[in-house]
Amino acid sequence: MSNPTDKMPDHINPGKPVAVFLSLGSNLGDRIGYLVFAVHKLAGIDGIEIDAVSSLYETDPVGLTEQPAFYNCVVKIMTTLSPDELLQTCQAVERELGRERRIRWGPRTIDIDILTYGQLQLSDPHLILPHPRMQDRQFVMIPLRELTDGTIGTSAGVRLVRSEWYPTCHHMQNTLK
């Protein structure tokens, strides 16, 4: 894989924090537990700071519809990691939580997608930024709009479960660093 930092525009300087939005989802086992663990794990990584966490939404599955509903959220982070380092970090957290990639759009303990990395536009075999399908996914756009413009919304397939679900566990973030 080519080094994504080689393709960064001049206005994104390696080593300076970049605002990044991540989409997290889970539809197996303790869905909230997996999401909380993933956010805490990311918060404990050098070069990542959690800036904001959206409300928790329950969403109908997309693609393969014969599976349990998902819990989804969007997390805004500030990071000094390169896009490739961040992708590797997200995939390591997924593996630690037992993520298995057997069926496309299939059930999973955790899914972490990089939605945006600052203003970077990247087309790499392993990472496309911004995320190529995020505009078509209400389970991404509804929590993303919540973080970007404060709008809490729902749709037929995306239901608000709980606002401010993460701050109740926020005190644990510092213990992971």
Secondary structure of 29-43 in HEC code, one letter for each residue:
CCHHHHHHHHHHHHH
In this structure, what DSSP letter does residue 1 have? -
Whether 65 shows a pLDDT value over 80: the answer reads no
The catalytic site residues sit at 99, 108, 111, 113
Predicted local distance difference test score (pLDDT) of residue 101: 65
Predicted local distance difference test score (pLDDT) of residue 104: 61
Q: Which of 15-19, 29-33, 41-45, 173-177 has the lowest mean pLDDT?
A: 173-177
Whether 100 shows a pLDDT value over 60: the answer reads yes
User: Burial code of 117-131, b = ≥16 C-beta within 10 A, e = fewer?
Assistant: bbebebeeeebebbb
